[in-house]
Amino acid sequence: MGSEACGLPVEIENLTFAYPGQPEALRGLDWRVPAGARVGLLGASGAGKSTLLLHLNGILRQKSGKIRIGETLVEERTLATIRRDVGLVFQNPDDQLFHLSVAEDIAFGPRNLGWSESQVQQTIQETATALRLEGLLDKHPQQLSSGEKKRAALATVLAMRPRVVALDEPFANLDPALIEQLIGLIHGLSATVILISQSILPALACCSTLAILDQGRIAAEGPAYEIARDRALLGRCGLDFHYYRDVWRRLETAGG
């Protein structure tokens, strides 16, 4: 399941944003994501990841700077185009699923885009098949399990055929089996994918490039494996996951 084309580039120039009465969450951020790329944006809590994500389709408006999706600048008059092209998958599926049935939730975006009812119905079926939600279309979102909710939330976005898909902490609160399932789904997307996460390991499985967001700026970017190996960088940005490896080695040594 994915978009018809293979994605649009995302260009961010000198993006600055602050919530009212608070210090700047994004401080002159510059970032470029090539068309069709799979990029993981990592950062500790409060680094500005979700804030950046909300800028991608104009939910939040920047104090200064520019965001370009393909050729389109994100601004008031282009919001209709931007919201068609950029799909946001929120961290908590309960925020994303606000209808009384999964089918209605999937149909919400396409109907807002003015698609015909036959197109909407066809999209519901296609998306449900792709995300293995066929038997759940008439269910109330509250009746779904965590994994089903995550898939349903992703379906509501993919139904709009976005050319950029941004996922906010998609692996949060999922067990390892569900994480593996979700990684498979993300691999199948044919759009530009921006994956926001605090967990490096699942991001490594999905993305060829990793970027680190620290204090409102991109602190580092590069091939996923290289970034993941730079323990000093990860430690500085509050993302050191090598600790788990150390614990595992200690356990192995003790067990052996």
Q: Can residue 117 be called a binding residue for another protein (CB under 8 A)?
A: yes
**Does residue 101 touch another protein according to CB under 8 A?**
yes
Q: Is 123 in the site for another protein (CB under 8 A)?
A: no
> Per CB under 8 A, does 99 bind another protein?
yes
* Nearest CB to another protein, comparing residues 45 and 253: 45
Considering only 142, 252, 253, 254, the residue that binds another protein (CB under 8 A) is: 142
Judged by CB under 8 A, does residue 1 bind another protein? no
Least distance from another protein to the Cβ atom of residue 120, Å = 8
Shortest Cβ distance from residue 58 to another protein (Å)? Answer: 8
- Total number of residues that touch another protein (CB under 8 A): 33
Q: Site residues for another protein, window 169-228 (CB under 8 A)?
A: none
The token pair that represents 115 in the structure block: 């698609």
- Is residue 83 a contact point for another protein (CB under 8 A)? yes
CB of 97 to another protein, least distance (A): 8
User: Which amino acid does the sequence have at 4?
Assistant: E
Which of 3, 51, 62, 96 forms a contact with another protein (CB under 8 A)?
96
- Residue the block writes with tokens 């799979």: 38
If you compute the radius of gyration of the chain from its CA atoms, what whole number of angstroms results?
Answer: 19
Q: Is 57 in the site for another protein (CB under 8 A)?
A: yes
Q: Which is nearer to another protein, 36 or 58 (CB)?
A: 58
For residue 92, state whether it binds another protein (rule: CB under 8 A).
yes
Work out whether 78 is an interface residue with another protein (CB under 8 A). no
Ramachandran bin of 155, using left for φ above 0, alpha for ψ from -120 to 50, beta for the remaining angles: alpha
Cβ nearer to another protein, comparing 107 with 179: 107
- Point out which residues pair with 29 in neighbouring strands: 15
Binding site for another protein (CB under 8 A): 54, 57, 59, 80, 83-84, 87-88, 90, 92, 94-96, 98-101, 104, 107-109, 111-113, 117, 120-121, 138, 140, 142, 156-157, 160
